[in-house]
Amino acid sequence: MGKYPIYHARGSHQEVGLTLGKKLGKKLEKNIEYYIKRLDEIKGINHSQLVKGAIKWLRTLPLGYQVELENMALGAGCSVHTVASWLYSDLCVEGGCTSFIHETNDGIWVGRNNDYLIPGIWGYITIIEAQAKIPTMLFGLEGGTFSGTGYNKEKIWLHYNWLPERPGKGLPPFVFHRQALENCSSITDLEKMLKEKPRDGGMNLFVVDGKRGEYAVFECSGQKFRKREPASRVIAGANHYHFPEIAPEGNEPSQESQEREKNLKELFLGEENLKIPDSYFKMLGNPGVEARGENEGTVYSCVVCPEKDLVFYSADPYPAASSGEWEKVIFNW
C-alpha cells in the first residue's frame, strides 16, 4: 500500500455505501466529529441550522446517492444525520484552488492545488464502481464519496475551482462533479450535462479527455457556462471569472486569485527546460501559487496525464505541493 490509501467499492449504491461504511467502521463517526469541530473552530457553524437542515438537504440529492449515504451510515454504525451533517456543513465554505492544463509533446498534462481547510486529513482516494456507471476515482477525505477532483475509466480527468456565486437551485458542485465522472465519456457529454443540470454554485471546471487528446476549461455560474480558449498551449485558472456575462452581478475579481493565476502563467513562461512531472510539482509549490495559511491552504495537489493513466498525488505533510510527499498512484479499476 502506498502513502495515500485507496478505498474501493463496487455494486449497487446500497452495496457501495455498505462496503465503505464497513471498511471505515467507527472511524467514520470520529472523522466526521473532528471535521465539524475543526470547521467550527476555523469558520464557525450555525449548529441549530446544521441540526435542522442536514437531513432535509440530504433528501434533495439524487436517490441513488441518498441510498448510498444511508447505507454508509448503516455499515459504519452511525446515524444518517451524522453523515448528512458531514456534507451539509461544507456547503457555505468558500474554497481556493489554482490549476493549469498544459499541452506538450509528451501529452496533455493537468495540475491543481486544492486550497481548503483542515490540513492533514486529505490524503485518501476512493474508487467507486457503481452499477451501470463509469468507474470513478475521487481524491480527498477518507471514504469520501464526493469531491472536487476525480478521474474515470474513460480517461476523463475532471476537477473544479470554486467560483463565487449566490446560492441557487440545483446540484451542489461536488455532486455535479461525481455525476459527470460517472456518466461522461467525452467533453461533449460534459457540455450536454452543463446545459441540462443547473448547479447551486460557481465552478471553474477543468477537463481533459485522455482518449481523444482534447481539453477545455468551462467557466460556470449556476445556470450559465462559457468555454475558455487557451491563448497558447497553457491555460491557467484560479477563483475568479474572466467573462462578465457569466459572473454574478456586482462580482469583483479577487486580487489574490488574479495574482495566483498570473504567477502560475509566468512560471510557465520562465521554464526553459521542462522536466515532467517534477517541474509541475515545483510550479504548484511556488510561494506565489501555493496557499500556506495556518488552518487553510493547499491541502492536496495533483499532476496528471490522462492519456498515459499517470496520476501523481500529494497531501501530506502540509502544504501539499511544496512539502508533501508526491506519489505515483497505482490503481486498478
Per-residue pLDDT of the chain (333 residues; tens, 9 = 90+): 689 999 999 999 999 999 999 999 999 999 999 999 999 999 998 889 999 999 999 999 999 999 999 999 999 999 999 999 999 998 767 778 999 999 999 999 999 999 999 999 999 999 999 999 999 999 999 999 999 999 999 999 999 999 998 888 899 999 999 999 999 999 999 999 999 999 999 999 999 999 999 999 999 999 999 999 887 899 999 999 999 999 988 788 899 999 999 999 999 998 778 999 999 999 999 999 999 999 999 999 999 999 999 999 999 999 999 999 999 999 999
Does residue 80 sit in helix, strand or coil? helix
Phi, psi at 205, each rounded to 5°: -100, 115
By C-alpha distance, which of 326, 325, 313, 323 is closest to 114?
Answer: 313
Taking the CA atoms of residue 185, residue 143, residue 302 and residue 318 in that order, the dihedral angle to the nearest 10 degrees is: 170
Chain center to CA of 101: 15
- Give whole-number Cα distances, 260 to 71, 267, 319, in Å: 41, 11, 16
The confidence score (pLDDT) of residue 21 equals 98
Cα separation of 30 and 25, whole Å?
A: 10
Provide the pLDDT for residue 92: 64
Which of 209, 211, 232 has its CA nearest to residue 104?
232
Q: How far apart are CA 161 and CA 112, in angstroms?
A: 9
Cα dihedral 140, 146, 148, 154 sign: positive
H/E element holding 107? strand 107-117
d(CA 104, CA 304): 13
CA nearest neighbour of 115 among 161, 78, 61: 161
- pLDDT for the residue numbered 200: 94
- Grid coordinates representing 204? 471553474
pLDDT of residue 2: 87
Orientation of helix 26-42 relative to helix 80-88, angle to 10°: 40
Confidence at residue 166, expressed as pLDDT on a 0 to 100 scale = 82
Cβ-based neighbours of 313, under 8 Å, separated by 6 or more: 4, 125, 139, 300, 301, 302, 326, 327, 329
Helix (H, G, I), strand (E, B) or coil at 193: helix
Do residues 210 and 156 make contact, with C-beta atoms less than 8 angstroms apart?
yes
How many Cα atoms are found within 13 Å in the side-chain-facing hemisphere of 90?
A: 22
